[in-house]
Amino acid sequence: MPGMKLKADRIFDGCQWLESDRVLITDANGQIVDIIPEAEAGEDIMRYKGTLCPGFVNVHGHLELSHLQGHMLRGTGLPGFLTQVIQQRGFDPAQILDAMFRADREMYQAGIQAMGDICNTADSIPVKAASRIRWYNFIEVLSSRDEGAAQRLAYFTDIRDRFRETRSHIRNRQPPSPASLAPHAPYSVSPLSFQNINLATTGETVSLHSQESQAEDELFRHGTGPFLDFYRSIGLTENPVSVTGKSSLMSVLPYFNGRQRIILVHNTYTTEDDLSFADNMARERGLSIHYCLCPNANLFIEGSLPPVSLLLADDRNIVIGTDSLASNDGLSIASELNTLLKAFPSLAVEQVLKWATSNGAAALGFENELGSFRIGKTPGVILLDDQLSVQRIC
């Protein structure tokens, strides 16, 4: 592919709209070389109807669950959803791998340039080694009891190190994709495991499913609710969580003090008090907190949406994820943005595009390569129409 000169009705550069006469110039590798007025761009300009935008950053998904598309019941609530995921066994490994390869291709075509992926195993390594997407691998720690926490940590650390050693076949000039340990959720990680994860992730990025259901807060505040049935279904006879009388987020965020970037995923039931608490914690501990919204999955599992206006009030870092094909009909960031624009009519298109591009790149630590049309970056270029349908340009 030779370099390109690209012009469209509008250009969103990852942060803002550019002046309407601008032409985006890339080299043969898709690196941004310049952005100049049309009058200075010479000939061979490629013209498009719609909006040119940097490739999307999908901050949260589970590539490994791609084979569960169409196998899950909607509207069960989170504890019921988790029980279903655990019960879905017996898939042929080839089928699981094939579903991951398919999801990877579909996401790239849907304009996704980078993804924060939750990994329970090393099974996605061959898919990622051959992928055009840039990956951040979150090795998900599930460790609900203090007994055996050290062995669990060693198991997950070994998976993390396998990802760290894997080089991409098509991006062989780049270092391997980053990988770090990430606690699954407040209700599935014991106090000692949280302490271990904090020590193992100094200066790194972690991801945490947070306040995806009201049941989670009920468990921490009162030790009651639907999670008790979930624990019984996985063979735990007693509630492994100590009742704190506080929300789940307030109960576990204080475990972190290692300057981590923390991606809180879902936040469907997060309150103003939780947000002020997290703001203070971030200031005191030098943490950087990013709020990831996965609205289609929230509608699928719980039938509710996150408090977008609360998050917007103090200019918090909002980013977007698709979650997995177990809880979504597709892996499309554009579809997530359309859901938000429809549910919250006061949102502007440029706001949500920023969440899906430069904000997402910053959450995953890819801000020097991706997420905006700054000279020297290689963010991918996509074309959006008025309905945010995506055509990939490069």
Q: Which residues bind Zn ion (CB under 5 A)?
A: 323
Alpha carbon distance 156, 143 (integer Å): 10
Helix (H) or strand (E) holding 30: none
**In degrees rounded to 5, what are phi and psi of residue 127?**
-65, -45
Looking at beta carbons only, is 216 or 323 nearer to Zn ion? 323
Return the structure tokens found at 240.
Answer: 């492994």
Looking at beta carbons only, is 113 or 268 nearer to Zn ion? 268
Closest approach of Cβ 3 to Zn ion, in Å? 38
Alpha carbon distance 293, 149 (integer Å): 30
Start-to-end C-alpha separation, the chain = 9
Write out the DSSP string of 57-106.
EEEEE-GGGGGGTT-S-SS--HHHHHHHHHH-----HHHHHHHHHHHHHH
Looking at beta carbons only, is 182 or 383 nearer to Zn ion? 182
Looking at beta carbons only, is 13 or 323 nearer to Zn ion? 323
Closest approach of Cβ 280 to Zn ion, in Å? 26
Closest approach of Cβ 78 to Zn ion, in Å? 10
What's the order of all strands across the beta sheet hosting 205-210? 205-210, 261-266, 288-293, 317-320
Return the structure tokens found at 323.
Answer: 């979650």
Q: Give the closest residue to 50 by CA, choosing from 11, 17, 19.
A: 11
Provide the sign of the torsion angle of the four alpha carbons 131, 349, 60, 78, taken in this order: negative
Q: Which three-class secondary structure state does DSSP give residue 222?
A: helix
Looking at beta carbons only, is 65 or 110 nearer to Zn ion? 65
Looking at beta carbons only, is 324 or 372 nearer to Zn ion? 324
**Radius of gyration of the chain measured on its C-alpha atoms:** 21
Axis-axis angle for helices 78-87, 214-222 (nearest 10) = 100
Alpha carbon distance 23, 45 (integer Å): 8
Looking at beta carbons only, is 24 or 114 nearer to Zn ion? 114
Q: Give the closest residue to 25 by CA, choosing from 9, 46, 10, 39.
A: 46
Count CA within 13 A, CB hemisphere, residue 238. 5
Closest approach of Cβ 62 to Zn ion, in Å? 6
Closest approach of Cβ 45 to Zn ion, in Å? 42
CB 382 within 8 A of CB 55: yes
**In degrees rounded to 5, what are phi and psi of residue 36?**
-135, 165
Alpha carbon distance 68, 72 (integer Å): 7
Alpha carbon distance 199, 113 (integer Å): 30
Closest approach of Cβ 268 to Zn ion, in Å? 12
Looking at beta carbons only, is 6 or 179 nearer to Zn ion? 179
In the complex, which residue's CB is closest to Zn ion? Answer: 323
Looking at beta carbons only, is 26 or 268 nearer to Zn ion? 268
Closest approach of Cβ 68 to Zn ion, in Å? 12
Closest approach of Cβ 368 to Zn ion, in Å? 26
Closest approach of Cβ 286 to Zn ion, in Å? 26
Closest approach of Cβ 265 to Zn ion, in Å? 6
Looking at beta carbons only, is 32 or 99 nearer to Zn ion? 99
